[in-house]
Every structure is written in C-alpha cells, then in structure tokens.
Amino acid sequence: MLNMDKFRFQKAQEDFSANRHAFVLQQGHLTTSVQNLSPFEKIRNWFQGSSLEKIIDVPFEYGISFLSEVYLRKHWSKWFEVVGYHHGGIHDFQDIVVLTPKKPTTECGAG
C-alpha cells in the first residue's frame, strides 16, 4: 500500500515507536513524470480516464507523515485543543484528528 523502500519504512517505524514524528518522501503518482511511466501504467491511466497531462513533472516534496497520538498530544497541544482522536477512522488505516485553535491568553496588569 505504501510505496517506500524497506530502509525508509523501518526508520519510520522506529521514529513512530519512539513517539517521534516520521516523514517519508514519496515517489509516486504525483511525482512521476509521463516519461517515466511504463506502457502498462499509461494504458491503465487511459482506461481509468486519467489524463497523462495531469501528472506533475516538477519536483516537489510529497510524502507521508506518521504521528503517534502521544506525539500529537504532546506537541500540537501547545497550539490546539484536541477535540477528538479516532484511530483508523479512514479505511481502518488513517487516523482522524479534530483540533480547534487554543484561545490566546491575555494577562492584564494593573498600572
């Protein structure tokens, strides 16, 4: 399901297990140039109604981020209230996190 080499996947697993953020740069459908498509992929895209012109041929960073709930609550809670966290909420694979911005605290001093 995830198009990444074994080394990147193992590194992401280690980071995730240690409650660290993991990001894996992807080389996939959005970063593939038309010239690099195999004949099978070109035919599959044609049958699926995908226009080969829509495939981006400019390099950019596209990838997958892995965040544990512990990491998210520890780091993101500085700026957001975690309203809800649903493990595997999308296709039993991706979590759903609902956040709301924290209201700024104001300190009033006499003076």
77/56 same-domain check:
no
59/34 same-domain check:
yes
Domain count, the chain: 2
Q: Are 68 and 19 in contact (CB under 8 A)?
A: yes
Contacts (Cβ under 8 Å, ≥6 apart) of 85? 69, 72, 95, 96, 97, 98
Condensed to tens digits (0 to 9), the pLDDT of residues 14-68 reads 988 898 888 877 655 555 555 556 676 666 666 665 554 445 555 556 678 888 8
- Say which residue the tokens 């074994």 belong to: 6
Q: Domain residues for 50?
A: 21-66
Indicate the pairing of strand 94-101 with strand 80-90: antiparallel
30/62 same-domain check:
yes
Three-state DSSP class for residue 69 = helix
Q: What is the pTM (predicted TM-score) of this model?
A: 0.53
Condensed to tens digits (0 to 9), the pLDDT of residues 61-73 reads 667 888 889 999 9
